[in-house]
Amino acid sequence: HLIPTLWIFVLLHYLGSYALQWIYPEYSILRILNLLIPEVKDPKMITRDLVFDGVLVRLYWPKTSPAGNRKGIIFLHGGVALFGSIRTSARICHSLAHGTDSVVMCVEFRLAPKHPYPVPVLDCLTAVIHFMKNAKEYGVDPNCIAIVGESSGGTYAAAICQELVTREDLPRVRAQVLIYPFLQGLDFNLPSYQQYHSVPPLFRKRAVSLGLTYLTGKTMNVDGVLKGTHVPPDLREKYQKWINADNIPEEFKARGYVPLEPAPFSEELYEQVKRGYETMFAPLLAEDDIIRQLPETFLLTCEYDVLRDDGLLYKKRLEDHGVPVTWYHVQDGFHGIMAMAGLKAIEYPSTQKCLQNVIQFLKGL
């Protein structure tokens, strides 16, 4: 049974997807709804808006923090690179800064469809590199910087951490915090996609539709991708060892799972979406020699989320290669639960538990 908070998401879904889709695309409706989120006023917080190599960022730090040698936290917001902003992320950033007594940087990356993949994640990478190179200027210990990402921000966090493991000119990232991230675009019929295909707010079809808009910059028919016709046989075989329901613990199949045969391959569809096999878009596809070098990880998954199994598969890969993983699974959680933090009208009971688990992990670094 859906609680009242989830019914709000159901209402917004139908509002965006049906009532107004003839006037505006869904992501435009979501951007408008984001404007209804009130500004944060916090007299105990210092904020500075800066531009790092052309990318707008906002820094937060508590007024009570001692100067110098603080932890640094880089926060990358969700929204499939179609909506979301520094403004909508402010409550989480305030909580992270206060809760960990750290300097928090939030990135205002450019959004699709005007700026499709890879522009948003490259904006994030640019800001991250600048912050890490100049950490001491902002009172941050360069050896204690964590990258935190929520939803698609978790995708960017994972991709950026992979990108940085080979950079010898930068300090090593201390930890990555991945909050219900999207990590692969090959298989949309994993157990969680089957079990929770109609659970709001991230319906299975919606997840793929928004993801393809981010990837290609245009609206596409998602039916072929949902069936897997975009995956060439050779790539399906190559990645089968990593993206496979057999790698999902049996208890997560108890709500139902039916293995499906892949649909016939479509060369035309593959050509349209082939950049989706790049690891900056799908970090789960990274090679083993990259995975084994990744930093300590906090991974949050939610039971009622189509992306649950992306997280479980990444957890297995990290652990198989000796990367320390702290895993927090929210049994009554759904996609986007932590984005509600501080919004008392819709905040779910487990929202603060999610946030406090993240804070406790970061405090322990």
Residue of 85, 151, 266, 350 with catalytic role: 151
CB-based contact 359:99 (threshold 8 Å): yes
- Residue keyed to tokens 């790092």: 52
- Residue keyed to tokens 């930068």: 170
* Alpha-carbon gap, residue 185 to 179, rounded angstroms: 18
**Active-site residue flag, 151:** yes
Residue of 98, 102, 123, 305 with catalytic role: 305
Cis peptide before 201 (omega within 30 of 0): yes
Task: State phi, psi for 233 to the nearest 5 degrees.
Answer: -55, -35
* Alpha-carbon gap, residue 299 to 315, rounded angstroms: 7
Distance of CA 116 to the CA centre of its chain: 16
**Active-site residue flag, 305:** yes
Q: Which amino acid is at 86?
A: I
1-17 burial by CB neighbour count: b if 16+ within 10 A, else e?
A: eeeebbebbeebbeebe
Catalytic residues: 151, 305, 335
